[in-house]
Amino acid sequence: MVLQVAHPSDVTLLDPPCLRSIDTRMQNDTLHFVVYFRSWDLWGGMPANLAGIQNLKEYMAGEIGVKDGEMIVESKGLHLYGYAEELAKLRCLSSPDLK
């Protein structure tokens, strides 16, 4: 099954949904996800998105009665907004005054 997060009206939006699809596969009694984002916020979105989607996969696997499997995630564009740049530099142990 593929859950698609797209509507024809999305083309008129200034900021359409970033998550486009979650493709699910059951193989050898294990549930796997392949997730696609059209665009992804490295600081504000990626960690929370990965955690939430993993929780969904674990929940679904438990309800179906299979093992939790792999999650393969891809994005056409990964970006870091300016508001988070200094935080990201600090987190990466980089000097905040580096440009």
Q: Taking 70 as the threshold, does the pLDDT of residue 60 lie above it?
A: yes
Tell me the residue range of the domain where 41 lies. Answer: 2-91
Report how far residue 89's alpha carbon sits from residue 18's, in angstroms, rounded to the nearest whole number.
Answer: 24
- Looking at 49-53, 66-70, 94-98, which range is the least confident one? 94-98
For 7-56, what is each residue's pLDDT tens digit? Answer: 778 778 887 888 889 999 999 999 999 999 988 998 888 999 999 999 99
Count the domains in the chain. 1
Backbone φ and ψ of 61, nearest 5°: -60, -45
pTM value > 0.85:
no
**What pLDDT does residue 48 have?**
93
Q: Which of the residues 5, 16, 18, 71 is marked catalytic?
A: 18
We report the CATH number of the domain holding residue 70 as: 3.30.572.10
pLDDT band, residue 61 (cuts 50/70/90): very high
Give the angle subtended at the CA of 76 by the CAs of 84 and 4, to the nearest 5°. 105
pLDDT band, residue 2 (cuts 50/70/90): low
Indicate whether 97 belongs to any domain.
Answer: no
Contact (CB, 8 A) for 58 and 31: no
Number of other CB atoms surrounding residue 31 within 10 Å:
22
> Catalytic: 92?
no
Report how far residue 99's alpha carbon sits from residue 89's, in angstroms, rounded to the nearest whole number.
Answer: 10
